[in-house]
Structure 1
């Protein structure tokens, strides 16, 4: 008797994409008022998205002053072009895209996007989730700031914002293999930093 064999996919299961902190449902009525330039509506949008934009900019740029600049530039660009937003996709996704582009542009101007962990000859993707110690926001912030700018950006966009490697490659004007390699090396380096006594990480 012949027994049918079922092929087993050796690739690891794909983890669900994280929910972005930008994922705020904005009422259509509020957007309509903002398009008309109502100050109260624009102020409401600013209050809702101020923290997500600043946090993303801080994680990518690693500097509070640069993050504040990115926040200001993002909001000016979004509010200046809000009349062109037609609602074909969520407003928060459009705003997040502007914020990411502004943060990466800041890194390009400072020539920091070439700052990355070197790629080995035999890289592999690190499918493990961020280490449990990442729940400590202060420790995570210190450890993230120890990483090169490009590596830090890949880690945050992938793990926190749910971008795919193809999307990250497009944003950073690199290749998907670059994103995968930086994710693997960055994840291992981040875990090592978070497992290090905090006095050493602060140094």
Structure 2
């Protein structure tokens, strides 16, 4: 580089800025628990969603009793990203919640270092499949109870007992609509993944 050439943005003489390390995380859970909402709340880009209208046929299959205003559902995946700091960028993949789309999970989860399993305490049965999936795959995960209407129906230890997850799996409360709350939940997953690599 000659003295008249400007330095590249963010660099100093003799150094180069490395792009942030890409890390894949999965956001999973049952139907209507807040996966798409969480990705949309945190993503620094316009999130990619595969939302489709809930038809009368789907309404007969999916339980809408606790989500009566829900008019769309994810049929493939959600995608977003967030740069945590100059060294780390999270790529977020949200799974579809309905059992009939479960065949997509293996492809979505491949390469992920961890997962956030979102739970609606009014419908705990809907999240058993996600918990079982990540336990079976050996993927580090945390359970995040979405505080619908600002409250949860059960205490954290009650949820842990009902889901039969080990003490090593974090169980926390968050708000899928709040950027900071989603960020904190994702950082818990990263800590789990890091602990697994160091263990």
Q: TM-score, normalised by structure 1?
A: 0.28
Q: TM-score, normalised by structure 2?
A: 0.28
More helix by share: 1
More strand by share: 2
